[in-house]
């Protein structure tokens, strides 16, 4: 009897030390992501393309076991596009038609903040993504992306300005960057912006959709279909990769993007992850690398809206990056954020992405830079989720094209 007790005790000690060693040396592999289910996508794909590696699409589903809820804070917004939390816990929100507003977590919506340059809100254009200066608490500087009418068409443009002391206006608004060339198309502006770990701005630009500009995603002499890295003054950031080719632009960070509407920094690795819209199929999540080519339109897991193949109809090519994950059919991934809160343990370091046509929030569990589980959150809300951010309170906040702001947190 005594011997059995002793063995059990030893076993217990052994299993404790095993579980500790398996988690303590791997901060990228957080807690149990939840209950494994069938893949969440049950519709047929548009193409018969083969993934480059197991788990690149239609990964197993995973269900959050912790009870959580999405609460509507307000429904009074008009096509909100970007949301970020201010240091005091209120939310700064852009609306597509050109307004910027401050919203409290009680749902009080401010009047539009004046002083922003005009946007061209036709098509997919408008006032798009935004970010706060790392020193916002002292300098009140805000940076945003918008579509700008100019000679020859429209640009994806970046501007900055200072929020006035009374919070009613943006002072000294200045356009600091334009992705050229301009084109009359009012589609595929990209439009997210964030500060990287070096204090420089990272901006996503689209290839403007039309067949005339689509190939420019592969041109190092064009700002279209790119990830751009800039100083706060809009100049090419130091340390940018050097692309070879005639007229290579010094502001480029990566090339070969279609319509990237999501950017987020991985909380453990510090790397920048990106989402972009494919055509029919071929929505992507990418892990950005300086100097890399992400393939559009040469390689893609999508097909044309007409049903034809895109270009030569290839999905993999040497010298071009594979997406970490892709969807076919599309979910239309837009703004995204990594979860570093603690109230829902399964979500630690997971990626949350607003899905437009998918009408849900995508949750991707990630281990060692691979997707290991997918969940669809708030699907019963029937909302086109445009952007999502984590507040300083550890909750997630998401905005929808229908005008809602949600708080998503443990019940
Ligand atoms: Ca790609």
Residue labelled with tokens 């959709």: 209
- Contact by Cβ (8 Å): 149, 120: yes
Taking the C-alpha atoms of residue 129 and residue 95, their distance in angstroms, rounded to an integer, is 9
When divided into structural domains, the chain yields a total of 1
Q: Which domain holds residue 160?
A: 72-341+390-405
402 Rama sector, left if φ>0, alpha if ψ -120 to 50, beta otherwise: alpha
Residue 93: inside a domain, yes or no? yes
Residues annotated as catalytic are: 188
In the structure encoding, which two tokens stand for residue 307, read together? 């049903």
Bond into 163 cis (ω within 30)? no
Angle 226-228-230 from CA coordinates, rounded to 5°: 170
From the CA of 121, how far away is ligand 1's center (Å)? 27
Cα 286 to ligand 1 centre (Å): 7
Cα dihedral 286, 287, 291, 292 in deg (nearest 10): -40
Ligand 1 centre and the CA of 288: distance in Å?
A: 11
Distance 151 CA to ligand 1 centre (A): 30
In a domain, 237, yes or no: yes
For residue 23, what pLDDT is reported? 40
Tokens found for residue 182: 């301009």
Span from the CA of 34 to the centroid of ligand 1 (angstroms): 29
Q: 300 forms bridges with which residues in the sheet?
A: none
DSSP 38: S
Q: Give pLDDT, residue 28.
A: 47
Whether residue 100 lies inside any domain: the answer is yes
pLDDT in tens, 123-163: 999 999 999 999 999 999 999 999 999 999 999 999 999 99
* Apex 377 CA angle, 125 and 51, nearest 5: 75
Q: pLDDT digit string (tens) for 348-365?
A: 999 999 999 999 999 999
Task: Give CA–CA dist 390/336, Å, rounded.
Answer: 10
Q: Is residue 5 in some structural domain? A: no
Residue 4 in any domain: the answer is no
Residue 248: how many CB atoms within 10 A of its CB? 14
**Helix H or strand E segment including 10:** helix 2-24
Q: Which segments in the chain show pLDDT lower than 70?
A: 1-30
User: Is-contact 321 273, C-beta < 8 A?
Assistant: no
Indicate whether 281 belongs to any domain: yes
**What was the pLDDT predicted at 9?**
39
- Here the CATH number for the domain that contains residue 248 is 2.120.10.30
Name the phi and psi angles at 85, rounded to 5: -90, 135
User: Which residues have beta carbons under 5 A from ligand 1 (an ion)?
Assistant: 294-295
Distance CA 269, CA 324 (A): 15
Q: Interior CA angle at 396 toward 380 and 230, to 5°?
A: 120
Residue 347: which residues within 8 A CB-CB, separation 6 or more?
Answer: 64, 339, 341, 363
The rounded distance, in Å, linking the Cα atoms of 316 and 295 is 8
CA of 116 to the centre of ligand 1 (A): 33
C-beta of residue 363 within 8 angstroms of C-beta of residue 45: no
For residue 15, the model assigns a pLDDT of 37
Establish if 371 belongs to a structural domain.
no
Distances (CA, A) of 128 to 177, 262, 292: 14, 11, 25
Give the DSSP letter of residue 20.
H
Contact 113, 87 (CB under 8 A): no
- The span from the CA of 32 to the CA of 317, in Å, is 35
Q: What is the pLDDT of residue 30?
A: 54
Distance separating alpha carbons of residues 284 and 320, to the nearest angstrom: 14
> How far, in Å, from the CA of 299 to the mean position of ligand 1?
7
- Is residue 217 one of the residues assigned to a domain? yes
Q: How far apart are CA 35 and CA 82, in angstroms?
A: 32
Q: d(Cα 173, Cα 265) in Å, to the nearest integer?
A: 26
């Amino acid at each position: 009897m005594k011997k059995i007790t002793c063995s059990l005790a030893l076993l217990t000690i052994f299993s404790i030390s095993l579980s500790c060693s398996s988690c303590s040396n791997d901060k990228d592999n957080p807690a149990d992501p939840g209950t494994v289910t069938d893949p969440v996508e049950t519709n047929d794909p548009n193409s018969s393309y083969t993934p480059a590696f197991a788990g690149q699409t239609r990964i197993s589903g995973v269900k959050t076991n912790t009870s959580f809820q999405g609460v509507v804070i307000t429904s009074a917004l008009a096509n909100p596009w970007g949301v970020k939390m201010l240091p005091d816990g209120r939310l700064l929100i852009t609306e597509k038609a050109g307004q910027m507003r401050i919203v409290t977590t009680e749902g009080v919506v401010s009047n539009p903040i004046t002083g922003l340059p005009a946007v061209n809100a036709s098509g997919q254009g408008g006032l798009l993504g935004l970010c706060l200066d790392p020193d916002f608490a002292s300098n009140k500087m805000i940076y945003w992306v918008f579509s700008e009418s100019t000679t020859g068409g429209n640009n994806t443009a970046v501007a900055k300005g200072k929020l006035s002391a009374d919070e009613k206006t943006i002072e000294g608004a200045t356009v600091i960057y334009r992705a050229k060339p301009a084109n009359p198309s009012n589609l595929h502006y990209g439009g997210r912006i964030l500060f990287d770990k070096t204090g420089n701005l990272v901006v996503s630009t689209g290839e403007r959709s039309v067949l005339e500009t689509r190939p420019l995603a592969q041109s190092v002499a064009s700002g279209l279909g790119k990830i751009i890295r800039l100083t706060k003054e809009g100049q090419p950031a130091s340390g940018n990769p050097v692309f070879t080719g005639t007229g290579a632009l010094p502001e480029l960070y990566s090339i070969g993007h279609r319509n990237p509407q999501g950017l987020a920094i991985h909380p453990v690795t510090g790397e920048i992850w990106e989402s972009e819209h494919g055509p029919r199929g071929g929505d992507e999540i990418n892990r950005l690398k300086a100097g890399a080519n992400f393939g559009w339109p040469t390689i893609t897991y999508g097909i044309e809206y007409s049903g034809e193949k895109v270009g030569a109809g290839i999905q993999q090519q040497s010298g071009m990056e594979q997406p970490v994950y892709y969807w076919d059919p599309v979910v239309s991934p837009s703004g995204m954020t990594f979860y570093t809160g603690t109230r829902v343990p399964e979500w630690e370091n997971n990626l949350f992405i607003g899905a437009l046509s998918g009408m849900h929030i995508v949750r991707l569990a990630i281990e060692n830079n691979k997707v290991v589980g997918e969940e669809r959150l708030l699907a019963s809300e029937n909302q086109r989720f445009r952007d999502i951010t984590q507040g300083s309170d550890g909750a997630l906040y998401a905005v929808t094209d229908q005008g809602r702001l949600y708080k998503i947190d443990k019940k």
